[in-house]
Structure 1
Amino acid sequence: MNIIDFVKNAGEKIFKPGEARRESAIEKHLAKYGISGIEVEVDGDKATLTGTAADTATREKAVLIAGNIDGIANVEDRIRVTNPTPAPVAAANPASTTTSTGSVQSSTTASGDGWQSRTYTVKSGDSLSKIAKEMYGDASKYPQIFEANKPMLSDPDKIYPGQVLRVPPER
């Protein structure tokens, strides 16, 4: 079990005013990105995801898709992976998450909870190349971040402050 924090008032606006079943809206949103087999429970601004994912990347994407919805501040990850990807060799850069205020905190990684990617919260003025420079030490590695966040990202230039992105291990 892992709880991941997000910016509550940033992200896609998928809830309709007065919508009673926010769970089904999130499940439909996940399905839009090709993710099925995940059940959602919403309590206030916290979404709990349970069920199974085919692989680690799908699990990570499901959590980030749910968290990058306007009105969701926390996602509790209870997803089981049926075909876990072996943990990569540790990268030279320390695992960290940069928050929207620019502070660094420990990230979700493969070490203790099955995650293999780091996460990064986009702040004003960021670009994928700037994030790649910070996370990998090389701005030209931005396509790795873009590919890791497909289909949530359709264009490398369309990111927004508060959005949480997957930063996969450096290749």
Structure 2
Amino acid sequence: MGLFSFIKDAGAKIFGIGTTTEEDTAEAVAEELKLEKAAAEKLKETIVDLQLQVENLDIFIDDDIAIIKGLAYDQTTKEKVVLVVGNSKGIAIVDDQMEVEQTEPEAQFHTVISGDTLGKIAKEFYNDAMKYPVIFEANKPMLSDPDKIYPGQLLRIPVLG
């Protein structure tokens, strides 16, 4: 799928990393690497907790870029993993290098803006606001409530059919 851009300060706060305002001393760099490793481990735990099936999952974080590798069960799983990682505070770019076991059509993506609702997004993509549950289901378990979306969040918009 490639590179995905996210608004790094708009996501769910999963870990406490970001650019440092201190001078780049060896100690600060070592601390940053430690935080990035911890953040990657936390994201892997989150993906396992969400029961997203990815074999040999590996996440590497460098500053605000996350690289994801592994074998996803299907395209939906792959896209959800990208969203879990990218919709995390501190991540601006996700470099998706995962492979897929079972192919299916790729979803479209939509970045939520102020005033968006799932109904409004469904109207835009499907010409039917009442299809908002399709978008909600496609973004579970990252979304727990159809009314709880936030500006800057990236959502999957699956192909109907």
TM bracket, shorter-chain basis: 0.7 to 0.9
**Whole-angstrom distance in 1 between the partners of 2:131 and 2:47:** 27
Q: Aligned residue for 2:72? A: 53
Question: Please, what is the CA RMSD of the aligned residues?
Answer: 1.4
- Listed as ranges, the gaps of 5+ residues in structure 2 are 18-30
**Counterpart selection for 1:78 from 50, 72, 97:** 97
Task: Report the TM-score when normalising by structure 1.
Answer: 0.78
1:160 aligns with 2:150: yes
**Whole-angstrom distance in 1 between the partners of 2:7 and 2:84:** 13
Please list the CA deviations of residues 76-100 of structure 1 after superposition, one character each: whole Å capped at 9, or x if unmatched.
0110111222x3xxxxxxxxxxxxx
**Counterpart selection for 2:48 from 7, 20, 31:** 31
Q: Aligned residue for 1:96? A: none
Q: Aligned residue for 2:122? A: 132
Q: Aligned residue for 2:134? A: 144
- Listed as ranges, the gaps of 5+ residues in structure 1 are 88-115
Task: Report the TM-score when normalising by structure 2.
Answer: 0.83
Contact 2:67-2:97 within 8 A present in 1 as well: yes
1:43 aligns with 2:62: yes
**Whole-angstrom distance in 2 between the partners of 1:12 and 1:128:** 18
Greater gyration radius: 2
Q: Paired residues, what number? A: 142
More helix per residue:
2
Q: Aligned residue for 2:88? A: 69
What displacement does 1:26 show? 1.5
Identical residues among aligned pairs (%): 46
Please, which moves more after superposition, 11-20 or 133-142?
Answer: 11-20
What displacement does 1:59 show? 0.4
Contact 2:36-2:63 within 8 A present in 1 as well: no
Please list the CA deviations of residues 42-80 of structure 1 after superposition, one character each: whole Å capped at 9, or x if unmatched.
111000000101111000100011000000000001101
